[in-house]
Amino acid sequence: MKKLFLFLLIPFFFIKAQSFQRNYNIMEFGAKGDGVTLNTEAIQKAIDKCSMDGGTVIVPKGNFLTGSLLLKDNVDIYLTNGALILGSTNIKDYKEYLPELKSYNDSFLRYSVFYAERISNISIRGEGTIDGQGSSFKVTTKEKPERYKNRPYIFRFVECNKIKIEGIRLQNSAMWMQQYLGCNDVLIKGISVFNHANQNNDMIDIDGCKNFIMSDCFGDSDDDAITIKSTSSYISENITITNCVVSSHCNAFKFGTESTGGFRNITVSNIIIKPSFVKTTIYGAPGGISGITLGAVDGGPLENIIISNIVIEGVQVPFYLRLGNRGRKHTPEAVQPGISSFKNVFLSNIIATKLASNIGASITGIPDNYIENVTLSNIFVEYPGGGNNEDASKKLEELIDHYPESTKWGTLPAYGVFIRHAKNITMNNVRFNVIYKDLRPAIVIDDVEGIMINDFETNNLGEKIKIENSSSLKGNFFNNKSEK
């Protein structure tokens, strides 16, 4: 009899415990889903109540217009199927937030639909959509920083802990879609992003964060798609990105360009990079500029990076690895950064086809500052070809302090990969094919210390490997094949 009593009691206590998880429907706080009423105050009241008492803020079916919303500790927001949060098109409905953490963006990026700073345990999830209506914020000048001003993000989270963004759709930001600056313990899962509304329309910016996981996401953006930055003194480290399908008119996956704090211990896997179905570009090119760009130019290290199982289609440049010395300070008061380091990078199991340009790929450091310990394994790239003798004899400027863009030099003197100012480079099972005959070498090696090329193939009949200015070159070339 006692066992039966306990058995009946357990469900009672479970139901009782569940009843404490309260829901706060924003309409109960005065919100109206007519797409016209400004609901900032009503939604903020629901957020405040949730933070105080616990539970979940519910956004029901409807079109809810809002300005800036300030997230607080322990807030869970759930967007139901059919729920649409619309960012106001009036900049006066947004509040300026200048975070305590100093970063390169402080002088111009101060608005967002959702803002959070130094709080913990927040989530935004569900089946609904957040739309920034970003095309309403017109850019009227080309001058910096004025051209960036008065354009809100959808998310800006600064120095927050335990963040979860799951399932929702984000679209049409006026600026970057979402920035996570100096945050820890972040999970981004199963979201869909469409961002072709304005200039600087990145999909996501992971900036100086630690312990960050992003998986199972879809993205289509005019500017860079998955972007890892370091615009403050914080390093971006312990980051895993996997199982995503992305499109970009610019760079599909990119480290930088800001790299003050640097990048360390990052893995990227199982990514499909394909052309956007949006053919009209604001920046970039219809098929995208690069598949993979790794840039360290502002003083921080770039090290211990693994990128694997990547399919790339339609871009101009399959991969671009660049150590430079732009040396841009993240604040006017900051110490001038030194030269970055760039080492321990592994790219494997990559297929790149239908490229839109014969530029070629590159791995380049600067004089006396080498990219080190880079391995390319199981790589297949099909280039358009068509390079001529003038392309083959081209001498590239160093461009030490320039913005790191893969198209900066134009056509490279190698149709496969150009390697300069590098140390300890390994290539295993690499094949560079061309559609049309190319008069450039497949690989050009210039000022390289230590290289091993094992099992390289190409269908082009020209020169395979050209060595320049590499008297201290160590290692060997063996088992290199070419098809007749």
The tens digit of pLDDT for each residue in 48-84 reads 999 999 999 999 999 999 999 999 999 999 999 999 9
What is 24-201's CATH topology? Pectate Lyase C-like (2.160.20)
- Domains of the chain by residue range: 24-201, 217-484
In this structure, of 403-412, 430-439, 464-473, the range with the lowest mean pLDDT score is 464-473
CA distance 348 to 374: 11
What would the pLDDT profile of 362-371 be if each residue is shown by its tens digit?
A: 999 999 999 9
Q: What is the pLDDT of residue 471?
A: 60
Q: What is the pLDDT of residue 6?
A: 44
- Joined tokens for residue 467: 């060595």
Average the pLDDT over 271-287 and give the result. Answer: 97
Q: Which among 203, 248, 197, 200 is positioned nearest to 228, based on CA atoms? A: 203
What would the pLDDT profile of 254-276 be if each residue is shown by its tens digit?
A: 999 999 999 999 999 999 999 99
Round the average pLDDT of the chain to a whole number and report it.
93
What would the pLDDT profile of 341-374 be if each residue is shown by its tens digit?
A: 999 999 999 999 999 999 999 999 999 999 999 9
Q: How far apart are the first and last CA of the chain?
A: 86
Asked if residue 99 has pLDDT above 80, the reply is yes
Is pTM, for the whole model, over 0.75? yes
What would the pLDDT profile of 107-127 be if each residue is shown by its tens digit?
A: 888 999 999 999 999 999 999
Asked if residue 469 has pLDDT above 90, the reply is no
